[in-house]
Amino acid sequence: MTEILKPLKQPHFDTEGLVLVAESDNYWIYNDDRMDKARIEVVTNKGKSNEKHCFFECPRPKRKLEWRLIEYVIKAFTRQTNLIPFVLNNNSMMKLAEYLYRHGSKSLSSMYTYALTVKQFSDYAKMSPDELIAACLNSEGIPDQKKVHEASLLVDEFLGELEAEGRATYSLLVKSACIKTFYKVNGIQITPPIRYKARTTYRDRAPTPEEIQKMIEVADVREKAMIAMLATGGFRIGTLCRLKYKHVKEDLEAGRVPLHIHVEAELNKGKVCDYDTFINDEAVRYLKLYLEQRRKGLDKIPPEPMTDESPLFRTKKKEVKPLPPRVAKIALRNVLKRAGLFKKNGKRSEIRIHSLRKFFRTQMTALGVPTEYVEYMMGHKLSTYHDVRMKGVEFLRGKYAEANIRIFPKPGIDEKKAALLAIKKLAETAGLDLSKPLSELMSGRTVLEDEDIDRQIEMYAKAIWEAFRRNLVTDLKGNPDCRKNL
């Protein structure tokens, strides 16, 4: 792919006669066999007032892998399209993309991080990536040690400028590693004189149960479920957003708690291993409320039938789409702010979304669960990974249940009875007839005993909600003016 990828001047291109190679909601890649080109359309801010269509063309790939690499690059930069030509224009960057795709985890965020770092270095050096590599070679295309040494000094100079801007040590370490890998995959081994060590500059900490309670109190039902699952399941936010209904279906529909979730390696960071974890009754309760809300519909969102492939967490738009980790982080960061917990320690807050994962680790360890079990439930592949996995799901479920990790203190039976009486009193005061919704929820079962009081509270709460809904629908049907104003 030696020719330059060009943004097309025309506002669109005619797709007649082109073969669609790959597509998604916001990009299309075509094979133009007649012109020996690959044609690309990317849409940014789709559906918004500032929606923008970007069109590119590049030499037609000769191998299937090259088509895959084009798609990999485009998927990584759909929100920052200026990096698309930066990568596809330079053979050295395409070698880096191939390395990340074939020998890495195919992570889109990794592709973005590497490309952005090389772009920053390229701008600093005032040379394209291909020129950076060529500057290290002699006339025969072999690395020249003197020129390689000069490149190493240039990299060190660039990192020194970033350090002078106040960049954290860990950030400098990451950027150094990205640039060294860029050179390495192009056959050049650089050695900057200063080596940065991993050192945490802005530490976060595990939140207390009381702080997580504050978060849940100010969150909506979707964020309540997410917070509870992150805190009691030890998930990474990226993994949580990739879960589907099938991951919780069996235990959720069977009413088993702790609820088991098997996470495939493809959903784990680095795709290093699959693992098993659990969520407690608090997280299950919020998850049920959230899924029930989706089944019934809300505001402009129509009722959603849940299937095995339904995303466990979705966006708040009409079309069903998985919740992107970036959007989830923003939503949960706003929860932290509303709860008054977004307090900066230097440049970053001391409580972050990832801190909920720390809560899981510290709580489970403090509650007596062996470290190797906790690390397994967090998706870490340690030397004991296979030994723990061989114990089986039910053994791990027992260990999790014994720990009894909680966000809120568990109420006693008297407190639960008082809560149930309060719910019944609320229905009586509001004049709600719960007989029909209750009979539907009970499905012919007899009255539940005291040990099933949690189930009673849940059913009465659902019955009140259903009674309110039916009354509202009846009122709307009988009042044409109300319907007009909706």
> Do 453 and 420 contact (CB within 8 A), yes or no?
yes
Write the single-letter amino acid at 87: V
Q: What is the pLDDT of residues 135-163, one digit of tens each?
A: 999 999 999 999 999 999 999 999 999 99
> Of 407, 345, 405, which Cα lies nearest the Cα of 208?
407
CA 217, 219, 225 angle in degrees (round to 5)?
Answer: 100
- 3-class SS of residue 172: helix
Q: What's the rounded Cα separation, in Å, for the pair 197 and 106?
A: 26
Domains and CATH numbers, the chain: 6-185 (no CATH), 209-403 (1.10.443.10), 413-477 (no CATH)
Q: Which residues pair with 43 in a beta bridge?
A: 53
pLDDT at 473 over 70: no
Q: What is the pLDDT of residues 364-392, one digit of tens each?
A: 999 999 999 999 999 998 888 999 999 99
Q: What is the pLDDT of residues 288-303, one digit of tens each?
A: 999 999 999 887 889 9
Going by pLDDT thresholds of 50, 70 and 90, the confidence category of residue 479 is low
Q: Answer with the residue of higher pLDDT: 206 or 131.
A: 131
Q: Answer with the residue of higher pLDDT: 262 or 415.
A: 262
pLDDT at 425 over 90: no
Write the single-letter amino acid at 339: A
Q: What's the rounded Cα separation, in Å, for the pair 311 and 447?
A: 35
Q: What's the rounded Cα separation, in Å, for the pair 351 and 333?
A: 10
With a CB cutoff of 8 Å and minimum separation 6, the contacts of 244 are 308, 309, 310, 311, 312
How many CB atoms lie under 10 A from the CB of residue 79?
13
Q: What's the rounded Cα separation, in Å, for the pair 30 and 173?
A: 39
